[in-house]
């Protein structure tokens, strides 16, 4: 890591309570809440702060509007069955102007993708075992 970059990162941690407070404020503005994981990670600002900076940019990318970005986050959370994240991103999507029908559709699509992922993995293994049995 370059010395200049390391020094910039250290500046963010000179006042950890202030930086954590700013992160919490940004989360509240963006998501409408401070997620549980941020509250827990705040115990170690030197780990939390660099992680959250990247997440902040990833959750509000240049090429997508906020509502679309929340739909993507919600879909991923639903497919991964991340219950806490699902709730956070439903609220954030609503805050970004999403309708209940749009959120429902995102969840239905997520369900299809989750089911497809399960079936694809399971059926490939099933086919592999079936073919092995035929070779014997």
Q: What average pLDDT does this structure show over 33-43?
A: 93
Distances (CA, A) of 16 to 4, 35, 58, 82, 85: 19, 18, 22, 28, 25
pLDDT at 113: 92
pLDDT by residue (tens digit) across 51-103? 888 888 898 999 999 999 999 999 999 999 999 999 999 999 999 999 999 99
Check residue 132 and give its pLDDT: 92
Q: How do residues 95-134 score in pLDDT, each as one tens digit?
A: 999 999 999 999 999 999 999 989 999 999 999 999 999 9
| Count of other CB atoms within 10 angstroms of residue 101 | 8
| pLDDT of 87 | 96
Q: Where are the domains of the chain?
A: 3-135
Q: What is residue 69's predicted lDDT score, i.e. its pLDDT?
A: 97
Domain 3-135 has CATH 1.20.1290.10: yes
């Amino acid at each position: 890591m370059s010395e200049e970059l390391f020094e910039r990162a250290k500046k963010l941690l000179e006042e950890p309570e202030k930086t954590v407070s700013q992160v919490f404020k940004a989360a509240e503005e963006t998501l409408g809440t401070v997620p549980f994981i941020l509250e827990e990670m705040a115990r170690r600002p030197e780990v939390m702060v660099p992680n959250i900076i990247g997440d902040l940019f990833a959750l509000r990318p240049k090429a997508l509007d906020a509502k679309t970005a929340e739909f993507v986050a919600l879909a991923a959370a639903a497919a991964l069955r991340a219950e806490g994240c699902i709730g956070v991103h439903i609220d954030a999507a609503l805050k970004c102007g999403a309708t209940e029908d749009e959120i429902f559709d995102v969840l239905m699509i997520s369900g299809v993708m989750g089911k497809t992922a399960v079936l694809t993995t399971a059926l490939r293994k099933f086919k592999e075992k079936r073919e092995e049995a035929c070779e014997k």
